[in-house]
Structure 1
Amino acid sequence: MTGFPTEVTAFPPGFTVDVFAAAFEASPTPMVVTDPRRADNPVVWVNGAFMALTGYDRDELYGHNCRRLQGPLTDRSTLDALREAITQGRSFECELLNYRKDGTSFWNGMTVNPVRDADGTILYFFSAQADMTHKHRLEIAMRDANGALEREVGERTADLRSALEQKTALLHEVDHRVKNNLQVISSLMLLKARRTPEGEARDALQAMADRIGALSTAHRMLYSEGDAARFDFRDFTDDLIADIAAGHEACGARVETEVEALALPASMAAPLALMLHELASNALRHGFPDARTGRVRVSARRADDGMELAVEDDGIGMAAAHPNPAGFGRMLVEMVVRQLRGTIAWSEGRPGTRVAIRIPLVGNSLP
C-alpha cells in the first residue's frame, strides 16, 4: 500500500508487508500511523476507514500532525495527557472530540500504542480509532431523560408532600374540633351532675363526664403531635395521668409512670385514654379511702408480641373495696381491651390491686 512504513519487518513466514498493509487497509476500523522520528510526529499512513471517518484524503493527511482534527471544543486536558504519553513513549486511551474536514464534530475513541524495533527504539505510533458519537448522544439523551425524570419526581414529591401537609392539617383540625366538642359535652354533664341530688344518678353523670374528659384529653394530645398518624405513648400517658391526678388532689396517694417511648397508631389513642383513665381513677377513688396514703404506678414496655401495660397500687385491694353494683368500670376496661385485641388479668397485690394487660401492636389499627 502506498505510503505504508516498510521498516516494520517482523512478520511470520510468507506474511509480507504488502499482505499486512492490505489487511489493515481493508479493516473497517479507522487506523493511522505517525512517525515520531520526523519533525512534529506527522501522519505517514492511514487506511480507508480513517479517511471515511475524517473526510480527508491521504495527500491532505500525510506529512501533517493529527492536530488538524482538533477544534474549538476539543478538550485541552485530554490533549495534554495524550502529548505526555507520546513524549514518554507509552500507550494511551481516550475519547476526544475531533472535527471532520467539513467542520462537523465527532467523538473519536482512540487507542495509541508505540511500535518498537528489536532494540526497543520507537519507530512509529499506531492508533486504532472508532466513532463514539452515537454513544455520547445516547449518554446525553440519558442525562436529559434522567434530569427530566428527576424533575418530575421532585415535582410529584412536592405535590405529595403538600397533600400530606394538607391532610395532616385537616386531621389536626378535626382533633381540635372534636376536643372542643367533647369539652362542651363534658362541661354540660358536669353542670347537670351538680344540679342532680346526691346518689347513683349524680355519680353516673360525674363518671361519664370524667370519661368524656379523658377522650377530650386524647384528642388534645393528638392535635399537638407533629405526626397525625401516630403518637408517642410515653408523652401521652404522662399528660393523661397528670390530668387524672390533678382531678384527685384530695386523695393521699401519688401516681407514678414508667412508660417506654412507643409510637402507636392514632386510632389507639381514644381507647387507651379510656382504659388508663378508668384504671387510674378507680385505683385513686377506691383503693385509698379516708385519705389513705400510697402509690399508683402505671407502666408500659414493648414486648415481643406488642405492648405490656400494668396499673398497680398498694391500696386496700379489690376484696376490701366498697362494692359498687351500679359501676361498670371493669366491664368498660375489658371491652376496650377486647377492642384492642388484647388480654387482661386482674389480681390482688400484697397489698393492693394489679391489672396486667397485653396488647398486640402489629396490625393493630382500629377503624
Structure 2
Amino acid sequence: MTGFPTEATAFPPGFTVEVFAAAFEASPTPMVVTDPRRDDNPIVWANGAFLGLTGYGRDELYGHNCRRLQGPATDRTTLNRLREAIGQGRAFECELLNYRKDGTPFWNGMTVNPVRDAAGEILYFFSAQADMTDKHRLEAAMRDANGALEREVGERTADLRFALEQKTALLHEVDHRVKNNLQVISSLMLLKARRTPQGEARDALQAMADRIGALSTAHRMLYQEGDAARFEFREFADDLIADLAAAHGPGSAHGPCAARVESEMEPLALPAAMAAPLALLLHELAGNALRHAFPRERAGRVRVSARRSGESLELAIEDDGIGLTAGPPNPTGFGRMLVEMVVRQLRGTIAWSEAEPGTRVAIRVPLPADGLR
C-alpha cells in the first residue's frame, strides 16, 4: 500500500505490513484511503472490492479526489457535512448517491474515520463502504406500495363514509316518516276521543293517543340526532318532559296540574334501539305522577333522574304526591302493566316504593358494551 504507515510497532509479532495489506485487499468490503496532507486529499489506496464497486482502475483513482464518484444527483447538503467533518478531523457516516465509471448511479453507504499517528496528527482518512442500492430500491418500492395502499385505503374510506352517510340519511328519513305517521295516528285518536262521550272509552283513547305521541317524539329526536346509532338521553328526556309539562298545563285535556317536573341527568349516549322503550317509560311514569299524585291542583314536584352505574342505566321517577296507596283503585288501568312489560323487554328490573311522601319508581337497565360513551 503506497504511503501507508509501516511502523512495525503498529502490528503484533509476525503480522507484517504486507499481511495487513493483503487482508484489506482480500476483504469483500470496499475500502479506500485518502491522504489529507496532499493537495486535494487524493486517494492513495483502494482495494479490489472498491474497484469492483466503482468500475475504475487504480490508475484512474490514485491521485484523484473521491469527488470523481459524484454526479448531478449527489446530495450537496450531505457533501457539505462530509467536507466539514473531514476538515475538523471527525468520523462521519452517510449514504450518498455516487456514480460508477459507466455513469450508473448507486447508493454508497460509507463510514469515514481519521487515522492518527502517536502524536495525534492525522495521517490518512480510511473509509469502508457498501453498496446500498438494493436497500434504497426496496425503500422506494415500499414507499410506492405504501402510497398505493394509502390511496386505496383513502378511496375505500371515502366509499365507506359515503355509504355510512347514505345509511344515516336513510335511517333519519325512516325516523322522520315514522314520526309523521305516528303524529297522524295520534291526531286521529285524539279526534275520536273528543267525539266520544266522557267515560272509560274516551279516557282510553286519550291515553293511547298520548302514548303514540311519546313514540312520535322519540322518533323526532332520533331524526334530529347526527348519529343514527345513538342518541343523547339527557336532551331526549328533557324534550319529553317539556312535552309532558305542556300536556298537563292550563287548558290541557288532562286538566291543570300545579306540580312541576324536574330532571337530573348525566350525559349518556344510548343505543337508538332504546329510544322508544325509554320514551314509553318516561311518558307513562312521569305522566301518571302528574295525573294522579296531585289531586285538586295540589302543588308538588316530580323528579326524573338518570345516571350510569357500572354497565347499567339507573332511571328513577319520584314524586312528593299522595303516594301509591292513597289514590283510588283503577282495576282497568293499563299503565303499570305497560311499564313492567317494557322493563322486561329491556331485561331490566323495576321497584315501586312509597317515598313518604309520594312514590318512587327505580328502574335498572343493563346496557350493551358500547351502549355508553
Q: Deviations over 1:194-221 (max 9, x none)?
A: 1111111111111111100000010001
CA change 1:364–1:147 in 2 (3 A) is: closer
Q: In the TM superposition, what is the alpha-carbon distance from 1:7 to its structure 2 partner?
A: 3.9
Q: 2:269 aligns with which of 260, 263, 266?
A: 263
Query: What SS does the aligned partner of 1:13 have?
Result: coil
Query: What SS does the aligned partner of 2:296 have?
Result: coil
The letter for the 1-side match of 2:164 is: L
Alignment of structure 1 residues 279-290 onto 2, 5 Å: 279-290=285-296
Alignment of structure 1 residues 230-249 onto 2, 5 Å: 230-249=230-249
Q: 1:351 aligns with which of 349, 353, 357?
A: 357
- Distance, in Å, in 1 between the alignment partners of 2:329 and 2:60 is 115
**TM-score of the two chains, using structure 2 as the length reference:** 0.95
Alignment of structure 1 residues 203-352 onto 2, 5 Å: 203-249=203-249, 250-352=256-358
- Distance, in Å, in 2 between the alignment partners of 1:148 and 1:71 is 31
**Residue equivalent to 2:166:** 166
Contact 2:290 2:302 in 1 (8 A): yes
Q: In the TM superposition, what is the alpha-carbon distance from 1:362 to its structure 2 partner?
A: 3.0
Q: Deviations over 1:142-199 (max 9, x none)?
A: 1111111111111111111111111111110000000000000001111111111111
Q: In the TM superposition, what is the alpha-carbon distance from 1:296 to its structure 2 partner?
A: 1.0
Contact 2:311 2:369 in 1 (8 A): no
Query: What SS does the aligned partner of 1:283 have?
Result: helix
**Residue equivalent to 1:116:** 116
Query: What SS does the aligned partner of 2:153 have?
Result: helix
Contact 1:98 1:107 in 2 (8 A): yes
- Distance, in Å, in 2 between the alignment partners of 1:27 and 1:256 is 88
- Distance, in Å, in 2 between the alignment partners of 1:60 and 1:277 is 96
Q: In the TM superposition, what is the alpha-carbon distance from 1:305 to its structure 2 partner?
A: 3.7
- Distance, in Å, in 1 between the alignment partners of 2:306 and 2:364 is 10
Q: In the TM superposition, what is the alpha-carbon distance from 1:5 to its structure 2 partner?
A: 2.5
**Residue equivalent to 2:42:** 42
- Distance, in Å, in 2 between the alignment partners of 1:268 and 1:356 is 17
**Residue equivalent to 2:4:** 5
- Distance, in Å, in 2 between the alignment partners of 1:352 and 1:113 is 91
Q: In the TM superposition, what is the alpha-carbon distance from 1:6 to its structure 2 partner?
A: 5.1
The letter for the 1-side match of 2:4 is: P
**Residue equivalent to 1:97:** 97
**Residue equivalent to 1:141:** 141
**Residue equivalent to 1:188:** 188
Contact 1:168 1:227 in 2 (8 A): yes
Q: What is the Cα-based RMSD across aligned positions, in Å?
A: 1.4
- Distance, in Å, in 2 between the alignment partners of 1:242 and 1:66 is 85
Q: Deviations over 1:331-359 (max 9, x none)?
A: 00000111111111111221111111111
Q: Deviations over 1:73-100 (max 9, x none)?
A: 1111111111111111121111111111
- Distance, in Å, in 1 between the alignment partners of 2:121 and 2:297 is 109
- Distance, in Å, in 1 between the alignment partners of 2:89 and 2:7 is 17
- Distance, in Å, in 2 between the alignment partners of 1:34 and 1:198 is 113
- Distance, in Å, in 2 between the alignment partners of 1:289 and 1:6 is 114
The letter for the 2-side match of 1:122 is: I
Unaligned runs of 5+ in 1: none
The letter for the 1-side match of 2:353 is: S
**Residue equivalent to 1:87:** 87
Query: What SS does the aligned partner of 1:19 have?
Result: helix
Runs of 4 or more consecutive aligned structure 1 residues displaced over 6 Å after TM superposition: none
**Residue equivalent to 1:52:** 52
The letter for the 2-side match of 1:148 is: A
- Distance, in Å, in 2 between the alignment partners of 1:305 and 1:94 is 57
- Distance, in Å, in 2 between the alignment partners of 1:15 and 1:319 is 111
The letter for the 1-side match of 2:280 is: L
CA change 1:186–1:201 in 2 (3 A) is: same
Contact 2:6 2:17 in 1 (8 A): no
The letter for the 2-side match of 1:127 is: S
Query: What SS does the aligned partner of 1:298 have?
Result: strand
The letter for the 2-side match of 1:330 is: R
Query: What SS does the aligned partner of 1:290 have?
Result: helix
- Distance, in Å, in 2 between the alignment partners of 1:62 and 1:168 is 74
Contact 1:4 1:21 in 2 (8 A): no
Alignment of structure 1 residues 60-71 onto 2, 5 Å: 60-71=60-71
